[in-house]
Amino acid sequence: MTMNPEIANAAYSLRVLARLLSYPDAGMRSHLSGMRDALHAERAVSPMRLAELDALMDVLAGGDALDTEAAYVQLFDRGRATSLHLFEHVHGDSRDRGPAMIDLAQTYDKAGLHLAPGELPDYLPAVLEFASTQPPPQARAFLGEIAQILNAIFTALAQRQSHYAGVIGALMELAGEQAQAVTLAPEEALDESWVEPAVFDGCSSKGQAKPGQPQPIQVIRKDKSAKGAPL
């Protein structure tokens, strides 16, 4: 699909996508109807992606609450390939991760965006909330900076036949990119990853970056002149 390079506004869609990627507790699921309405009213993503998002929301709304929450944890918190913490894909366990976290948190603070208790700044829903506060061109450019990471997550979710792949596909559209399968490095077993942290030396374990190259996440400063079933 060819997207208009200047999307008038995708702020509501970004917030809905951020919410869809968050933990599906009762509060989140109670807002699914309004989230669906916002997505369809703004029409910032293609009909194909809207249909995929509708399918995800149907699963979230119709599934057993405990099963839905457990499936979310199993999908996003049990390995790096599908992690929603973006610096996990860029820095892994390297010492570069800490300063990057601090820099991103300071950016949010300057924009008046405060993280929830215990929430890390590289958590994708938080990143999308920040992007939703930016003017459309800056928001689009910001998403473009993380497109490689998003594509890796999209691939991992698609391999698992997860409905959540549609959320990442929609984000790729908003970034002006096309979601497509990429080659992922074999994921080490979870037990092995806890034995001894790997040394990444600033590299991504998923091939997102190499030493000496710019890291993907860059903050776009706001222009002061601009006003039961598988998941």
Instruction: Give the tens place of pLDDT for each residue, 161-214.
Output: 999 999 999 999 999 998 887 767 676 544 455 444 444 444 444 444 444 444
**Furthest-apart CA pair in the chain: how many Å?**
51
How far is Cα 56 from Cα 202, in angstroms, rounded to an integer? 35
pLDDT of 92 reads 59
**Residue 123, SS3 per DSSP:** strand
Number of neighbours of residue 214 by Cβ within 10 angstroms: 8
Of 96, 47, 122, residue with least CA distance to 201: 96
* Domain presence at residue 70: yes
* Domain presence at residue 188: yes
pLDDT of 115 reads 82
How many domains in the chain?
1
pLDDT of 30 reads 97
pLDDT of 91 reads 55
pTM of the full structure: 0.76
* Domain presence at residue 225: no
pLDDT of 118 reads 78
pLDDT of 78 reads 86
Residue 188 lies in domain: 11-195
Ranges of the chain whose pLDDT falls below 50 = 1-7, 189-191, 194-227
140, two tokens: 């689009």
How far is Cα 32 from Cα 230, in angstroms, rounded to an integer? 18
* Domain presence at residue 132: yes
pLDDT of 124 reads 95
* Domain presence at residue 220: no
pLDDT of 47 reads 96
* Domain presence at residue 229: no
* Domain presence at residue 165: yes
Strands (E), 61-113: none
**Residue 85, SS3 per DSSP:** strand
* Domain presence at residue 185: yes
Q: 216 and 143 in contact (C-beta within 8 Å)?
A: no
Of 105, 76, 4, residue with least CA distance to 45: 4
pLDDT of 210 reads 43
pLDDT of 100 reads 74
How far is Cα 132 from Cα 112, in angstroms, rounded to an integer? 13
For the chain, give percent helix, strand, coil, nearest 5.
50, 0, 45
Which residues neighbour 120 within 8 Å (Cβ) at sequence distance 6 or greater?
85, 101, 126
